[in-house]
Amino acid sequence: MSRTVNEPSANTAPEPLSLAYFKDYFMLSKLRLSISVVGTTMIAYYLGIKKTGLSFDNLQLFGLTLGGLLVVAASNGFNQVYEKDTDKLMSRTQKRPVAAGRMKVQDALVFSAVCAVLGLFTLAFLVNGRAAFLSLVSLFIYTLAYTPLKVKTPLAVFVGAIPGALPPAIGWVGAIGNIDIIAIVLFAIQFFWQFPHFWSIAWILEDDYRKANYTLLPSYDGRTKRNAIQIIWYTVMLVLLSLYPLSIDFGTLNALWLIAPASIYMLYRAFKLKQTLDVFEAKQLMYASLIYMPLVLISYLF
């Protein structure tokens, strides 16, 4: 059926302040992803309060939540501006507002810059300077290093894992005010979690990524056993690091009731991917990874 004269095109800018207008800004900020990222920050914050016996501060928690959401939204917005041309090439991203032409580049840049400034100031004044500093580092690495490297080398995933690993460390630092050994351990666990998580996504989207000249699997081989073995090794490292806090009395052996089954299932899914090299198994590994990190963080509360 042909489009009627009054029906807006997918590439037409929506009316200001309309539902579609705000929907485009939500899409620019990747709101659902931003919420999930800040979720790990919140768990780590509560972990810091619980473990150190500090008083719960509602204003601080509000600042950490709002500031984190704004900084992540800014990172996603800058990313979509930079990748607007490659986004047009992929089925998954071609409907994004900047790539589709519904939003002007300058509007996206202003929105992202405002989110970044407001987010960092919120973190600095309502939480603490160290949490704001770590968020600034995350924003710069994601925007200025990871994003440009995606079209150049698979090592971009390693660079991108740095800002991706900072949210739980930011939550912990937001609670206690210091970058200590626990903040580093939480960062390391989340850092290694990135690889089975994002490589499973890259496995699923390999064909679409190739359209934009992205190679985000461990090597240029594609969906091969060699790359699947890499995923297994990093999953093993993730599991070992997840157990490490128990050896320094950060958690009790009761944590194993969550960590052990979650780890076994993650390893099982990684080995199944190596066995089949199938996109279906990559999806199962991705789903397993989505529940793994929250379960591990929650387990340290016991």
| Predicted confidence (pLDDT) at residue 6 exceeds the cutoff of 50 | no
**Among candidate residues 43, 46, 31, the one with its CA nearest the CA of residue 292:** 43
For residue 252, give Cα distances in angstroms to 183, 193, 247, 256, 286. 18, 21, 9, 8, 28
Angle at which helices 256-276 and 181-204 cross, to 10°: 30
Whether residue 295 contacts residue 40, with contact meaning beta carbons closer than 8 Å, is answered with no
The confidence score (pLDDT) of residue 175 equals 95
SS3 301: coil
Whether residue 73 contacts residue 117, with contact meaning beta carbons closer than 8 Å, is answered with no
The mean pLDDT of 96-101, rounded to a whole number, is 94
Give pLDDT tens digits for 153-208: 888 999 999 999 999 999 999 999 999 999 999 999 999 999 999 999 999 999 99
Alpha helices in the chain (DSSP H): 19-29, 31-52, 58-82, 84-87, 97-100, 105-126, 129-141, 147-149, 156-176, 181-204, 206-211, 225-247, 256-276, 279-299
The mean pLDDT of 17-35, rounded to a whole number, is 89
Give pLDDT tens digits for 194-230: 999 999 999 999 999 888 888 888 988 889 999 999 9
For residue 164, give Cα distances in angstroms to 95, 126, 195. 24, 23, 10
Amino acid in the structure at residue 101: G
The confidence score (pLDDT) of residue 283 equals 97
Reduced 3-state DSSP string for 113-182: HHHHHHHHHHHHHHCCHHHHHHHHHHHHHHHHHHHHHCCCCCCHHHHHHHHHHHHHHHHHHHHHCCCCHH
The confidence score (pLDDT) of residue 154 equals 85
The mean pLDDT of 259-282, rounded to a whole number, is 97
What confidence tier does 54 reach under pLDDT thresholds 50, 70, 90?
A: confident
| Predicted confidence (pLDDT) at residue 2 exceeds the cutoff of 60 | no
**Among candidate residues 235, 231, 233, 234, the one with its CA nearest the CA of residue 276:** 231
The confidence score (pLDDT) of residue 8 equals 45
For residue 114, give Cα distances in angstroms to 1, 193, 278. 42, 30, 42
Q: Please, what's the largest Cα pairwise distance for the chain?
A: 67
The mean pLDDT of 285-295, rounded to a whole number, is 96
Give pLDDT tens digits for 119-138: 999 999 999 999 999 999 99
**Among candidate residues 21, 119, 128, 130, the one with its CA nearest the CA of residue 78:** 119
Whether residue 59 contacts residue 36, with contact meaning beta carbons closer than 8 Å, is answered with no
For residue 264, give Cα distances in angstroms to 74, 128, 238, 257, 270. 36, 37, 12, 12, 10
Give pLDDT tens digits for 55-81: 888 999 999 999 999 999 999 999 999
The confidence score (pLDDT) of residue 10 equals 63
